Structure 1
Amino acid sequence: MDETIFYGESVEERIKRRFSESSTNRNMDSENPFYVGDLGEIHRQHMKWKSLLPRIEPFYAVKCNPDPLAVKYLASLGVGFDCASKTEMEQALYSGADASRIIYAQPTKQLSFLKYAHQNNISLMTFDSQEELLKIKNSYPEAKLVLRILVDDTHSAIPLGRKYGAPIQTVESLLHIAKNLKLNVVGVSFHVGSGCTHANAFYHAIARARDVFDQAKSIGFSFDLLDVGGGFNESTITSDKGATFEDVAKVLGPTVDEMFPSNNVRVIAEPGRYYVGGPAYTLCVGIVGRRTIEEGQTRKYMYYLNDGFYGSFLMPTLDKIKLNPKVLRKDGKYYYDHVLKDEKTYPCTIWGPTGCSLDCVIKDGKLPELNAGDWLYFEKFGAYSVTAATTFNGFEKPDMIHVNSFKE
């Protein structure tokens, strides 16, 4: 990863600089795919969060995109971190976050990771089972525990309740067990599912959390933390694919104030794709080969990229995200953010670079006639893309370069 940040440069200017550098630097592979991360977009998203949800502290979900420079930048802005493993906790601490700004939001924890959290004073963590309470009692009895409850997540792209979350009928028993074990349960968390499509899902989840707060009080606990989880989309998502951040904020902010009016209750959230799923990341991929298929009067092309299903496109493909490739460079000319006028398009299939026939990026596409050496780009490609990429068949993950377009 290139840790140089170019301030004031646009994404287009940085892309051109990248190609210029690769043509003159013998140590740089000019055919490698690469991301351009704009830290300025992340900054603008953070400012929007503070404006629309001032009471709720964002704890960035590192799993969404662990780009080291982005994590460091978020830490510098005062953002907390939602971590699920030792590696993610290490990264958050290394990036400058205090242990108090980290939640170990993994209801079922590996014992060695739990010990690492203990050694580094990362005390805030979730649980949803009796077995986890016993594990924590033996390894980290001073921890500040947050009960993750099951809520309705059917209105989401990826429901999580099949795996995590205590059913409401088990809550009383779990709280009594925690009380008998003399463990410090401090609050409630939930997750409405990744890519929430209905803002009202947060209303119903918060209402359930309010009931659990009241139930805990009757047992002798005094909760002071509410974690409203993730599921936040960015602002430009279309209404048929999900609720925009603005839609959610209109419901979430007032509902929190209505049901938890006391300032003694700290409220946090775990946004991931909200920060990095919009314009913050652009993926640039090169065409390394082409095959022409003539079928009667119809010409089709098969394009082979330097990145594919086993790389950056793994999670977007599984999420069934509609991919929209755009021409970046053709015959040596740049077309970033420009439409190729009067260019005839042809049916095409776009393949990744591996030897596996499942490595198909787009089955039925339409593009102008392109050649090996031309480049495409995919916008809004920072969420669950590079983080899930593999090195299957020996193909390396894309490089990462950065700009910062934020201006005070």
Structure 2
Amino acid sequence: MSFDNDLELRKVAAVNPEAQLLLRVVCEDSTAQCPMSLKFGAKSSMWNELLGMVQELKLNLAGVSFHVGSGCKDPESFEQALLDAKEVFRLAKERGMQEMRVLDIGGGYPGDTAGFEKIAPGIAEKLGRLFPRSEYPELRLIAEPGRFFAAHSAHLLTSLGCAASERKVYAKAKLPATDENAESGSEVCRYYLNDGLYGSFNCIIYDHVSVEPEPLRSHEGPEVPCALFGPTCDGFDVVLEKHTMPELEEGEWILWRNMGAYTSAAPW
């Protein structure tokens, strides 16, 4: 169980004094897809006070945790976080506390394999250098790679809809292009999907994802400008405001890859 303030420690002492605790330290996560440092983590000025309270309340400090932000793609973000964790280990030892045995390096690892393969060696190097087995033989390393496992677990299919839809007839419209760079007489296709920002595509808002539609059926002919909207009447329900792809017809299916993380589960 992680904590980052004195009030949490007092609650643990009152409710579950046998809990194994991890002191969560704040991280520099400004480059992450979804920063978390504003919400979680104890600053260095608080560590000694919190360690003292752990001793005072006779609680069990098992180790340290941190999270460099969801969707982190910079392995250097782990350098300072691991240095901070090592400092907490040192302070606890200096206070004569029991040897800490857990280091939780958090989550947020990229969902795409290429991104993970880029960041993983850097993390491994830093762990080996700052927490060598020779110095920490009993240390248990844990992580929270939810995004990495979940992102590729599901793809999404949306339909441009037809009369068979149970809720609403989704449609297509062709309108004159209003972009100042558009050619005279050109048109823009508006596609209305059976899913949107209030469903699986909430990841655009909350997870800052860039989605890429793939028509399920192959098409001949040029790509044309289009916009893709969700099924609601809300003007905010825009999946892609400006995109180009082959012109589609009503009832066609569109594939959206790697929609397994922070999509359909998030609204609930």
TM-score bin, normalised by smaller chain: 0.7 to 0.9
Counterpart CA distance in 1 for 2:210 and 2:93 is 47
Which among 227, 230, 239 is matched to residue 361 of structure 1? Answer: 239
1:286 counterpart = 2:162: no
SS at match of 1:277: helix
1:227 counterpart = 2:104: yes
Q: Structure 2: where are the runs of 5+ without partners?
A: 162-170, 178-183
Q: For residue 345 of structure 1, report the CA deviation from its aligned partner.
A: 2.1
Which among 335, 347, 353 is matched to residue 225 of structure 2? Answer: 347
Counterpart CA distance in 2 for 1:149 and 1:166 is 5
1:312 counterpart = 2:200: yes
Which among 385, 391, 395 is matched to residue 263 of structure 2? Answer: 385
Counterpart CA distance in 1 for 2:78 and 2:148 is 16
Counterpart CA distance in 2 for 1:313 and 1:234 is 16
Counterpart CA distance in 2 for 1:356 and 1:235 is 32
SS at match of 1:207: helix
Which among 212, 217, 235 is matched to residue 324 of structure 1? Answer: 212
Cα–Cα, structure 1 residues 235 and 369, in superposed 2: closer, same or farther, change >3 Å? closer
Aligned to 2:128: 257
Which among 174, 179, 185 is matched to residue 61 of structure 2? Answer: 185
Contact residue 73 and residue 109 of structure 2 kept, 8 A: no
Which has the larger Rg? 2
Q: TM-score, normalised by structure 1?
A: 0.58
SS at match of 1:293: strand
Counterpart CA distance in 2 for 1:293 and 1:318 is 30
Aligned to 2:28: 152
Partner deviation per Cα, 1:345-394 (whole Å, 9 max, x = no partner): 2211111001211111010112222222111011111111111146xxxx
Letter in 1 for 2:211: L
Aligned to 1:275: 149
Q: For residue 258 of structure 1, report the CA deviation from its aligned partner.
A: 2.6
Q: TM-score, normalised by structure 2?
A: 0.88
Contact residue 203 and residue 251 of structure 1 kept, 8 A: no
Counterpart CA distance in 2 for 1:377 and 1:389 is 21
Counterpart CA distance in 2 for 1:214 and 1:325 is 50
Aligned to 1:248: 119
Counterpart CA distance in 1 for 2:125 and 2:251 is 53
Contact residue 227 and residue 268 of structure 1 kept, 8 A: yes
Counterpart CA distance in 2 for 1:203 and 1:313 is 33
Aligned to 2:165: none
Aligned to 2:5: 129
Partner deviation per Cα, 1:50-109 (whole Å, 9 max, x = no partner): xxxxxxxxxxxxxxxxxxxxxxxxxxxxxxxxxxxxxxxxxxxxxxxxxxxxxxxxxxxx
Q: For residue 189 of structure 1, report the CA deviation from its aligned partner.
A: 0.2
Q: For residue 236 of structure 1, report the CA deviation from its aligned partner.
A: 4.2
Counterpart CA distance in 2 for 1:322 and 1:361 is 10
Contact residue 150 and residue 165 of structure 1 kept, 8 A: yes
Q: Structure 1: where are the runs of 5+ without partners?
A: 1-124, 238-243, 329-334, 391-408
More relative contact order in 1 or in 2 (CA 8 Å, sep 6+)? Answer: 1
Contact residue 316 and residue 384 of structure 1 kept, 8 A: no
Counterpart CA distance in 1 for 2:176 and 2:63 is 64
Partner deviation per Cα, 1:213-255 (whole Å, 9 max, x = no partner): 0101111222110000012113445xxxxxx222322122232
- Counting matched residue pairs gives 249
Counterpart CA distance in 2 for 1:374 and 1:163 is 43
Counterpart CA distance in 2 for 1:307 and 1:198 is 32
Q: For residue 158 of structure 1, report the CA deviation from its aligned partner.
A: 1.3
SS at match of 2:7: helix
Letter in 1 for 2:50: L
Partner deviation per Cα, 1:298-328 (whole Å, 9 max, x = no partner): 1221111000011111123443322210101
Q: Which runs of 4+ in 1 moved over 4 A?
A: none
Counterpart CA distance in 1 for 2:104 and 2:32 is 18
1:140 counterpart = 2:29: no
**Higher share of residues assigned helix:** 1
Identity of aligned residues (%): 35
Letter in 1 for 2:265: T
Letter in 2 for 1:228: I
